[in-house]
Amino acid sequence: MTESSRANRGWWDRNADEYQTEHGTFLGDDRFVWCPEGLDEVEAELLGPPEELKGKDVLEIGAGAAQCSRWLTAQGARPVALDLSHRQLQHALRIGVSFPLVCADASVLPFADGSFDLACSAYGALPFVADPRLVLREVRRVLRPGGRFVFSVTHPLRWAFPDEPGPEGLSVSASYFDRTPYVEQDDEGLAVYVEHHRTLGDRVRDVVTSGFRLVDLVEPEWPDWNTSEWGGWSPLRGHLIPGTAIFVCERD
Ligand SMILES: C[S@@+](CC[C@H](N)C(=O)[O-])C[C@H]1O[C@@H](n2cnc3c(N)ncnc32)[C@H](O)[C@@H]1O
């Protein structure tokens, strides 16, 4: 396991309760919400028309409490929800599951080649791993030919701004091009939380060199109905700068 994965497993195990308490209502137990902007798969159809999800094997990566997998089940799909954090998956059990839960690192997927028709990830794993190409190659391996992988991540532009929801979050404070990860450490200097930055170009390159075709890049706009804040995401900032990037990819 890499230092980032070790740090993030501990962080998400310690913070899963707070995360679900804070965001569970917004996410909904059985909705598929892509991002703090509130884009819902019902309107976005990034995985394809809902009627075509029936009978599909779907891998959800960084599933948290598996809200998206619950929605996929309701469409007749057969999801498998994977997360690095045992505590997040306990929340999935608390809400209720009728599909498999797998505790594993997305960089080393414990599945045979060609096991899934689709894969998806709402802010799971990809913002947190040191080398996203390892995840992308693993996802490509477990997808069947033509399979689609849709994932949302923090929009790379946000890296240049303070992670604050108010006006202080509107002035550039760091270089967009600085790939030094954001790391929180304990008293002994061990990483306890890590986020990695990729520029938009890096992300596109990661996708393409990992054997995917980029079908779409969605930058959800902040809708007027959404008055919630989520960390540094807020209506104020959301109306001015993008907060999320969603990559729609297909296995070559
Ligand atoms: C921001 S949460 C998103 C959870 C869920 N998709 C949602 O929308 O609520 C990020 C999730 O990614 C998981 N994660 C982080 N690094 C991971 C890795 N290397 N492999 C698998 N999951 C990981 C965390 O444990 C956490 O549950």
Q: Is 122 in the pocket of ligand 1 (CB under 6 A)?
A: yes
Q: How do beta strands 57-61 and 116-122 pair?
A: parallel
**232 alpha carbon to ligand 1 midpoint, in Å?**
18
**pLDDT for position 1:** 75
Q: Is 129 in the pocket of ligand 1 (CB under 6 A)?
A: yes
Q: Is 59 in the pocket of ligand 1 (CB under 6 A)?
A: no
Quote the distance between the C-alpha of residue 204 and its chain's center: 16
Mean pLDDT in order along the chain per 10 residues (252 residues): 92 98 98 98 97 97 98 98 98 98 98 98 96 97 98 97 97 97 94 96 98 98 97 97 98 90
pLDDT tens digits for range 46-65: 999 999 999 999 999 999 99
Hey, is 69 helix, strand or coil? helix
DSSP letters of 130-179? S-HHHHHHHHHHHEEEEEEEEEEEE-GGGGGS-S-SSGGGGS--S-TT--
**218 alpha carbon to ligand 1 midpoint, in Å?**
20
**63 alpha carbon to ligand 1 midpoint, in Å?**
6
Nearest CA to ligand 1 atom 8: 122
CA distance 120 to 113: 17
